[in-house]
């Protein structure tokens, strides 16, 4: 449960605090109005820019469910029903998850498997770009039908293609840590620029509901909103990137061996004791996001009283999610340390020649149980490598598949859904959200399984080699 508080919910709380500061200072309304002014009057394209490109940027910076909460709130403000906004945001939140929070899942995967994280990142970058290219077509097809795909395919290709290309190039040639940030920025900039020169045929069924703040802005005769609405997101992008590269999180880092649990369980599968170490980082990424919220508040001249109102509002939004995530993480640790998760994983690994096909499912289960791709990699990453070596499969491919498969389970993770509903009126309806995303999660996982099977047996040239 301590792990759920710090770092996971500490990141979530401060990211939502930044969101509330943006709302209180008026920057969120400016951001909303900027979208209305600069994007076509078409909810399908707004969904593409906000839930996909912008949501992926937030995933690259913070992760842990906050992109779902913030982007779904923005979509609701732009006229989407809450359930639609949250469902499509969760589905779009698959493409960037393996490289989320500046590549932390890949770093953890490398640590638990003993494989070079750069090679693992390169392999993931040869799997997920296919889904990044597919997702805009898939989601818009669900939302607007096949006719929408035929009408909007140039924009869908530009958005998904630019993200996929940047994701591949960054993860393979520049460094996996900045993959999401650079890929999402590329997609965001290229897609918005493309929509300036390419206009779809108007469709009244998907026109944006221009009411509330937007209507007031128009009635008051104000001009087009400038770039001020982007301020909170630009500030947090710069602060978090500098924070990570300056290794500020390492200052005051304390690794606490949990009493009564650390090395108290012996894993016969790995022939070693099961460590239970809580990595307490008072200056972790969550603190960087808190600093971003403070900078935004000062920059926008928000009063101290209003800032603390935002803190209280954030607590009210997240208190149920915090309790839920603490219980979920506690359950995940119970499953792990009791041996149930490893027994499940070992059973899946016994499928022999079909293991590459079901390896993605193992990663999917890990993230569903643990709540994050990072935890899923820590849970089953080494198990996948052990099974791969026993069966004669490539360990880099199978380890990377654990992370890629995990991203498909993120949309049905109770932790992710609980965080996502915190900014909507869907609190208490997490089961409804789960039901809306479950079969999409299963379908995409099966597609990944087919890709992995082909990469192992037919397309083995796609697998990068480990450095000597």
Strand duo 277-280 + 265-267: pairing: unpaired
Calpha distance 432→429 (Å, rounded): 5
Residue 439's contacts (CB-CB under 8 Å, 6 or more residues apart) are none
For the ranges 19-23, 164-168, 367-371, the maximum mean pLDDT occurs at: 164-168
Residue among 111, 75, 139 at smallest CA distance from 103: 111
Name the band, by pLDDT with cuts 50, 70 and 90, for residue 125. very high
pLDDT for 29-48, tens place per residue? Answer: 888 888 888 888 899 999 99
Residue among 461, 451, 416, 452 at smallest CA distance from 72: 416
Residue among 167, 60, 107, 172 at smallest CA distance from 399: 107
pLDDT for 43-100, tens place per residue? Answer: 999 999 999 998 888 887 766 667 888 888 888 888 889 899 999 999 998 888 888 7
Q: How far is CA 232 from CA 44, 255, 289, 291, in A?
A: 25, 32, 10, 11
Calpha distance 286→283 (Å, rounded): 7
Residue among 374, 368, 342, 351 at smallest CA distance from 452: 351
Q: Flag whether the pTM goes above 0.85.
A: no
Whether omega for the bond prior to residue 246 falls within 30 degrees of 0, making it cis, is no
Is the pLDDT at 260 greater than 60? The verdict is: yes
CB 86 within 8 A of CB 424: yes
Phi/psi for 260 (5° steps) reads 80, -5
CB 44 within 8 A of CB 152: yes
Calpha distance 68→233 (Å, rounded): 15
- The number of angstroms, rounded, from the C-alpha of 40 to the middle of its chain's C-alpha atoms is 26
């Amino acid at each position: 449960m301590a792990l759920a508080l710090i770092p996971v919910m500490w990141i979530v709380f401060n990211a939502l605090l930044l969101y509330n500061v943006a709302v209180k200072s008026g920057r969120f309304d400016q951001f909303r109005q900027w979208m209305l002014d600069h994007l076509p009057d078409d909810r399908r394209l707004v969904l593409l820019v906000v839930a996909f490109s912008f949501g992926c940027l937030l995933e690259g910076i913070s992760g842990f469910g906050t992109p779902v909460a913030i982007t779904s709130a923005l979509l609701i403000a732009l006229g989407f029903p809450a359930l639609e906004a949250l469902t499509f945001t969760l589905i779009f939140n698959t493409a960037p998850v393996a490289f989320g929070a500046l590549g932390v899942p890949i770093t953890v995967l490398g640590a638990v498997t003993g494989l070079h994280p750069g090679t693992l990142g390169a392999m993931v970058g040869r799997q997920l770009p296919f889904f990044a290219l597919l997702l805009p077509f898939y989601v818009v097809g669900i939302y607007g039908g096949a006719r929408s795909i035929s009408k909007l395919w140039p924009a869908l290709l530009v958005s998904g293609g630019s993200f996929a290309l940047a994701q591949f190039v960054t993860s393979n040639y520049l460094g996996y840590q900045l993959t999401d940030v650079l890929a999402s920025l590329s997609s965001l900039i290229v897609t918005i620029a493309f929509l300036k020169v390419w206009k779809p045929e108007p469709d009244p069924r998907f026109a944006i509901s221009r009411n509330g703040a937007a209507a007031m802005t128009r009635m008051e005769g104000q001009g087009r909103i400038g770039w001020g609405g982007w301020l909170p997101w630009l500030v947090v992008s710069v602060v978090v990137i500098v924070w990570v590269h300056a290794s500020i999180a390492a200052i005051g880092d304390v690794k606490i061996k949990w009493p009564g649990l650390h090395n108290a369980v012996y894993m016969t599968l790995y022939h070693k004791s099961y460590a239970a170490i809580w990595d307490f980082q008072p200056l972790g990424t969550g603190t960087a996001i808190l600093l971003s919220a403070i900078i935004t508040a000062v920059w926008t001249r928000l009063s101290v009283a209003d800032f603390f109102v935002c803190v209280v509002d954030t607590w009210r939004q997240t208190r149920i999610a915090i309790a839920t995530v603490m219980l979920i993480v506690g359950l995940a640790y119970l499953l792990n340390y009791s041996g149930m998760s490893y027994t499940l994983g070992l059973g899946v690994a016994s499928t022999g020649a079909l293991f590459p096909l079901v390896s993605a499912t193992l990663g999917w289960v890990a993230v569903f149980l643990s709540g994050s791709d990072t935890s899923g990699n820590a849970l089953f990453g080494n198990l996948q490598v052990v099974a791969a070596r026993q069966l004669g499969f490539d360990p880099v491919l199978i380890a990377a598949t654990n992370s890629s498969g995990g991203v498909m389970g993120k949309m049905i993770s109770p932790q992710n859904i609980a965080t996502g509903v915190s900014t909507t009126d869907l609190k208490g309806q997490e089961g409804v959200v789960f039901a809306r995303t479950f079969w999409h999660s299963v379908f995409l996982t099966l597609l990944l399984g087919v890709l992995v099977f082909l990469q192992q047996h037919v397309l083995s040239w796609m697998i990068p080699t480990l450095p000597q």
